[in-house]
Structure 1
Amino acid sequence: MTDPQDSLIPDAIGTSGSYGPFAYLSTPNAPLYRRVMRALMAEKERFTVHVRPEQVCLALRADGGESVEEGTVSEALERLSQPGWANLLAFPDSSRVTALADFYRRRMLYQMSRQGEAAERALAQYDVALGTTGALQSVALEDIVVLLTNLRDTVTAHSGGEPVDAALTHQTLRSLRERFAELAENAVAFMGSIQRTIDLHNADVDAFLAYKEQLIDYLERFINDLLTRGASIAELLGSIPQSGVQLLAATAAEREALDAAPGESDLAFTSAREVWLRQWSGLTDWFVSTPSRESESKLLRARARAAIPALLAVVRALHENPGGRSDRTQDFLTLARWFAELPTDGDRHRLWRSAFGLVPVRHLSVTAATEDAWASAELGNTTPWAEAPPLEISPQLRRSGSYERRGKSVRVMDRTGAKALLAERARLEVEQTEAARRRILTNGPRPLSAFGDLDPEAFQLFLGLLGDALAAMGPQGTTSQVHTSDGELTVTLTRTPGIGTAVITTPGGELSGPDHLVDIVSAVYAPDAGSAPELSAEAYA
């Protein structure tokens, strides 16, 4: 049937904005229109030029969806062919006219318009992108290593005087670009799907628990592959000089410029070469880190590693949830239902004693004779007190109401001395820490070898700061800056080429290693007057 809100969509969408073929998506009958467009797209892929309404109706009945009458399909086809949307082209169907009366009946053939086909392909691509979960492709890493090795060999052979196979080089570059694009896009989609899995784990607990073991193994395997093959890829990229990159980009651009229109070959060559150089730069940035930023592969590896403890935390929370604090309301409701189902009051009393622990008192001490009398009488829970043997209690309990003899209360200990001792120890520790901090202040960049002897407190503080700075610098960095947790000290560490060996002497031994320039600055107090003079990096070099 005709969409009651179709008239609310202006025809100007299709003419001025060129987005008319998407307009049916915002109507109440959008699901029907979507099915009709899919059926027409399937007919076009089978090279069917024109389609009749009955053919579309049969296709809709075969797609597994809700059955639709032929009249409803005809109205949908007619609406999709209107100028406002223009998804379809309509032509009179005169092939089956056998009588004069047939000319007065509206018979139409429908064909997808150019705009409608473009819109349908865009929607199909949208559905595919929305439904994909991505993958971490270890095979793509292997392929990238092989392709980069071939390109490196090509550049090396050209530097030795051999000609370049333009067709093979162009095809290798295209394959490298495709594999890299698949790797990057799938990795982003996969990590996004993992985060959704972690955030929405309560949707299906059993499925999540069954899935997490395979997922963790999958992540660990990819992390190992990315660590090993990523290093190989970075090494291959570094082995190809910039002149070799220019050669590869120019070779691929020349082949692509052959298909350019007459008079546009030079512009096509320049444009294609710039595109290839940008893509090579993106590939390099993805695998090679610099002092100013981490590579995308390293960030992906860190994100995959962080996903494993997050998954384990979710599993731990799921296992701990059944044993957590329960709601007593449900327990009381269950107990009330049991009371209502019991047939006699005696059963209800027994359930009451079992549920709330109402048993005979156990805090009174009885004599052995009383216990023997109870045992010989074989008393039951319903025996009245008057018929049971008497309870013999201690005379001390009868006189004072307590078994214990009251004595002198315990004196309260005076802990003033212990508190003073703890305060003195805390003060001494603070003074030692401040002295150690003043001892390692540099008053400007200083080499490690200039520190000389350090006392244990200063050396322990200095060693911790040096370790944090080296970790922040990394194996490829040249400088780093870290701060202590309280923000009082700032440490700047610089690696210098052609550096020597530094030796720092402590009462516990000597620390030796590559010399660095270190600058330790305090935000609270200035360094001692006897500190070493400021040394610049140029003077030290």
Structure 2
Amino acid sequence: MGDATNGRWTRPTGPVGRTERARRALDLDALAVGDRFRLFNFTQRDDYVVYLWALRAMDRLRAVHRVRVDTDDVAAALAELALLHDDVPDPGASLRDRLDSLAADRIIHRLEDASRAGSLARYRNRQSVYQFSELGYRAFLAVEDVLAARVQDANLSRLVFSDILDDLRSLASANRAGDEEQVYRRLSRLDQVMEDMVRRSAHFHVTLGEIVTSTEASPELFLRYKNALLTHMSDFMAELDRYLPRLDRAVRDVEATGVATLLTRAATADDRPFLGGAERVEDWRRRWRTLRAWFTAAPDAESGAADLRRATRSAVSGVIALLRQLTEARRGGVNRVSELRHLAEWTFNTPDEAAAHALMAAAFNVGSARHLGGAHDDAEQISSRATWWEAPGIEVALTQFRTGRQAGPGLPQPVRADTRMRADLRRRQVAARAAERAAADSLANGGAHDRVLDEAETRVLLALLTRALEARTVVSGRLRSGAGTEGTVVMRLVPDPKGSAVRTPHGVLHLPGFSLRLVTRAGGVDA
């Protein structure tokens, strides 16, 4: 909503409370900032999608008041999400490690709950439960808000002014009647409505700026929606001009009933347990000043609504100017697209490659680098704050100085032949290959299911499974089939709604949606 201090209006730069939150953020030291930035570490990992869906599963459980969950609960929630979304990954046996990594980043808390152990063996093992931390849940919601943002959602809420006027009139009546709860309700509703209005307006103007700056690449999209865009902004300005005098009078009517009494009654009905009475009064006083600054002009500054009206009028002028520019460019036939096409044609018709490079360098003002740089042998002796002028020089190779290329390692040294070592390596390779072939035959004869595979069979199975997954085919966004070959054994992935499982010495490998069929080249054995 912005802020009003000593009767002056601070122009809003984002959603309600942005100025206050910015002030609080500036009070944090570098250690606290770095500690909170750790909450977003999961977005920088290679498998960030798995972490995101694990947090979504915990949020799904949190919505049904299951605050503390274990790995089985998260896995069950992921399975439920997989029924609704096709892109839910399978974390497998590494789910506990992923949750522990999130706990190390402090986005969730890890606690020990021995009451979940049903046997002595499970009691001896670690019985961890996880729950969102307060800051971690805010970080997760921030990531979800960024992922859910859509340009199509940007709009100006012109219908909100009638609701604000009704709430101001009801607030004045409640303050005259001495109804504390009604005063609190109306002030809270005004705060929420103003937050939504400012958030929408800020989102709309930011989105409009992006559209205006990106129309050179897609003028057809802009011309398609220009009429709806201009009508939307014109209607908003007309509604704002119609309601602004009424809102000014309504704010002054509320002030006539006594602002101090109003704020005291709102603070009395406020049931926030972590704020004292004086703090609640001061908080509501700040909100009322901000609300007043939105609709009532100060002696030396205009109101926030007038500022918003001026920004919207300026945006309309910018859209009309851009529309005129696009129309003239289409009429004259010269725009950025035509210029780039002519440049491409000139470059293609140049006599040689050097002339093409010279033309492109002149067109885009690109020049070759005229300096060389490198790292000092002992970088710790050089301060990171030292400028290039103050830092000591380093030795540069003559090849790099003359040609700009790094010096090569020189001619390769002759390879020393060791016949005995090569023969030993060959024997070990033959033995390993024979063991793999025997394991493959055993796997083909005994099948992959309904038994526990040994180490050699597990390695062969994983190699076949990797090749089958690499050769899989996708039809209409779903995996249909795949096959992998290892010597005389062929593995096929057969779609199966029940799925399958393979028991290995290290655990159970689950294959949801598929079963394995092992076939030899001479015949077939189903597994």
Q: TM-score, normalised by structure 1?
A: 0.48
Larger radius of gyration: 1
Q: TM-score, normalised by structure 2?
A: 0.50
